[in-house]
């Protein structure tokens, strides 16, 4: 059985105390497992796009959803 569940890394801009966060961009790659997604988070935080986010704190999260959801609005943030 092929799973339609996928994970995507979401970059968020957050307040200093991280009580308020806003989704900024989703990584273009879709991951089959949460573990694969989590192994890539550190690289995404070092990306040019992450460095350009104008918030006190930049954070990532791996979000689960349907493959179509994970790809929606994808932007290339590698690099």
Tens-digit pLDDT profile for residues 1-59: 455 688 999 999 999 999 999 999 988 888 999 999 999 999 999 999 999 999 999 99
User: What is the pLDDT confidence band of residue 67, given thresholds at 50, 70 and 90?
Assistant: low
Q: How many angstroms separate the CA atoms of 9 and 26, rounded?
A: 6
User: What is the pLDDT confidence band of residue 77, given thresholds at 50, 70 and 90?
Assistant: very low
pTM of the model: 0.73
Give the pLDDT score at 5: 80
H runs (alpha helix) in the chain: 34-45, 48-52, 67-71
Q: Among 14, 16, 8, which residue's Cα sits nearest to residue 77?
A: 8
Tens-digit pLDDT profile for residues 48-58: 999 999 999 99
């Amino acid at each position: 059985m092929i799973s339609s569940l996928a994970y995507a890394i979401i970059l968020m801009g957050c307040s200093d105390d991280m009580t308020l966060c806003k989704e900024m961009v989703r990584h273009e790659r879709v991951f089959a497992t949460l573990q694969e997604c989590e192994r890539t988070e550190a690289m995404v935080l070092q990306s040019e796009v992450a460095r350009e986010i104008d918030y006190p704190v930049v954070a990532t999260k791996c979000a689960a959803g349907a493959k179509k959801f994970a790809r929606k609005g994808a932007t290339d943030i590698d690099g």
